[in-house]
Amino acid sequence: MTSIYLDNQSTSPIDEQVLEMMRSVGFGNPHSSEHSVGWRASALVETAREEVASLIGADADEIFFTSGATEANNLAILGIRRFALQGKDNVARSNIEHKSVLAACDALADEYGFRVSGIEADKQGFILPRAVSAAIDERTALISVALVNNEIGTIQDIGAIRNACGRAILHCDAAQAPEAMAMKGVADLCDMLSLSAHKMRGPMGIGALYISRSIQRNIAPLMYGGGQQNGIRPGTLPVHLCVGMGAASRLAENNARERAHAALLRDEFINELRKIGLPFSLNGPSDFTRRHPGNANLHLLNVDADQLIGLLQPSLAISTGSACTSGTIEPSHVLMGIGLTPDQASSSIRISISARNKRDEVIAASHLIAAAIGRLQC
């Protein structure tokens, strides 16, 4: 049986155009500077770097390839550890950040003595400028706020948040953003920004961190080696993956039509559930213009989300708001961070639709969910 795939915020299927670009790469070490094979590989990587930079309105020398957004988040956050020597030993992050941001902030505190301040989100997942101002002081080195939330799809007003940061560095986890919003110019609104190729129709295993040229000399690397990428992120770069991320960035730069189509499919899915008469409430923004166009995070009354998803296998691929931590399942910190109880969070599911989905798939998915809930409640 073929599954209906509605978990695109977890990972998006790689685009055929991206695959074709990766197939054409050939062989070569981009850091071999003494022969033409290395020169060609290096040129391919630099073209990919320019394509990623173009997506967000940055310069190519501000883009550092990483293994993914988790590494990019860690490099951004742990990379500011030298600021403690200047009396800047506080970092602030929202309470609904991705686990990689939360864990990196905890490591900054545990291993380098930083203080970590929390920034509370409102009930729809928005980080208000006054909440940012309340969480920072003259010792704050960095603020980290995701541009688009990975569970409830909230699109933040990063311009307003930037204005509230004062002289502190602003880092944005933007892994979810390219499929959710126009990205041109976002580099002007933050100092560092993390991206992931496989969230935007590119390959797994590659991401990037934008670091404004003005702060690069202050960012400490996580690894040490041959000095590649200005020493900030050394190591031999995977040419095929870099080219794939560049191609995916080029697609994301011109995806306004796809985003609009995803939003139409998402709305059809929600409307079909209402026609069926399924009781649910929507977690996250009520204003869909400020929500990831493919995101629908639903609280289902008196339904165990993990049991529901298990019952839906292998017909439908969706996800819960639960995270597996140290071998135990715990309610989503994002959902509890916007005011849900543990029971409500454990009764919530995330549907993430893309423009590559079809209308009959989202209609069928709504009926599959309703039927499975009916069996659970018998």
Q: Could you report the per-residue pLDDT of 352-373, keeping only the tens digit for each? A: 999 999 999 999 999 999 999 9
Q: Is the peptide bond preceding residue 314 cis, with omega within 30 degrees of 0?
A: yes
Which residue among 105, 165, 242, 324 is the active-site one? 324
Phi first, then psi: give them for residue 19, nearest 5 degrees: -60, -40
Average pLDDT over residues 208-228: 95
H helical segments located in the chain: 16-23, 36-56, 69-78, 99-112, 129-135, 158-164, 239-252, 256-276, 305-312, 333-337, 342-345, 359-376
Active site residue 378: no
Q: Could you report the per-residue pLDDT of 51-108, keeping only the tens digit for each? A: 999 999 999 999 999 999 999 999 999 999 999 889 999 999 999 999 999 999 999 9
Q: What is the pLDDT of residue 84?
A: 87
Q: What is the pLDDT of residue 268?
A: 98
Q: What is the pLDDT of residue 324?
A: 46
- Token pair recorded at residue 19: 């695959």
Nearest CA to 317 among 289, 351, 344? 351
Q: What is the pLDDT of residue 182?
A: 97
Q: What is the pLDDT of residue 1?
A: 57
260: left (phi over 0), alpha (psi -120 to 50) or beta: alpha
Average pLDDT score, the chain: 95
Q: Could you report the per-residue pLDDT of 271-330, keeping only the tens digit for each? A: 999 999 999 999 999 999 999 999 999 999 999 999 999 999 999 999 986 444 445 578
